[in-house]
């Protein structure tokens, strides 16, 4: 079995837009939405996510919805690059710095984005995709 290559920033858009009903909402902080519900996005700098060395707000944070608290805890407590902040207590979402994207393989990134889409897509669209998807 061939190993997946390291994830790259362009993979985010390629994967997200390959999903049914997915749209890019451009802007300073682009969002990927399905039926007007964001499933992953570039997050604006906020006071709850700062560089521990400099204290500066992080400008390269991505947000991904996750299915539930269990998945969130697994991603955040694993050895991967995902994290959360107190702002997201009670929300099924994880964060990832773009600078750390290469710690994931493209396949791992795809799994996170597909799961995020799955969390936000309507049930009928999810069922259609599951019936037709070769994934």
pLDDT tens per residue across span 92-116: 999 999 999 999 999 999 999 999 9
pTM greater than the 0.85 cutoff: yes
Residue 126's alpha-carbon distances to 12, 122, 133, in angstroms, are 20, 6, 10
Residue 1 inside a domain? The answer is no
Element (H, E) at 23: strand 22-25
Residue 2 inside a domain? The answer is no
Residue 115 inside a domain? The answer is yes
Which residue range is the domain that position 31 belongs to?
9-132
* pLDDT, position 1: 44
Residue 27 inside a domain? The answer is yes
* pLDDT, position 131: 84
Residue 20 inside a domain? The answer is yes
Residue 71 inside a domain? The answer is yes
Residue 33 inside a domain? The answer is yes
| Domain count for the chain | 1
- Count CB atoms within 10 A of the CB of residue 31: 18
Q: What is the CATH number of the domain that holds 35?
A: 3.90.1150.30
Residue 3 inside a domain? The answer is no
**What average pLDDT does the structure give for the chain?**
93
Query: Minimal CA–CA distance to 101: which of 92, 113, 91, 90?
Result: 113
For residues 65-76, average pLDDT: 96
pLDDT digits (tens, 9 = 90+) for 40-65: 999 999 888 988 889 999 999 999 99
Query: Exposure of 98 by Cβ count < 10 A (0-12 exposed, 13-18 middle, 19+ buried)?
Result: middle
* pLDDT, position 74: 96
Q: How far apart are CA 120 and CA 39, in angstroms?
A: 6
* pLDDT, position 4: 81
């Amino acid at each position: 079995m061939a190993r997946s290559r390291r994830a790259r920033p362009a993979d985010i858009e390629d994967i997200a837009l390959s999903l049914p009903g997915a749209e890019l909402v451009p802007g300073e902080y682009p969002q990927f939405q399905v039926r007007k519900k964001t499933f992953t996005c570039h997050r604006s700098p906020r006071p709850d996510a700062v560089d521990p060395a400099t204290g500066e707000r992080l400008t390269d944070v991505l947000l991904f919805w996750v299915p539930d608290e269990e998945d969130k805890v697994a991603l955040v407590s694993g050895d991967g690059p995902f994290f959360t902040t107190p702002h997201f207590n009670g929300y099924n979402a994880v964060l990832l710095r773009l600078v750390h994207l290469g710690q994931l393989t493209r396949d791992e990134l795809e799994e996170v984005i597909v799961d995020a889409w799955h969390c936000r897509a309507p049930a009928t669209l999810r069922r259609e995709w599951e019936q037709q998807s070769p994934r």
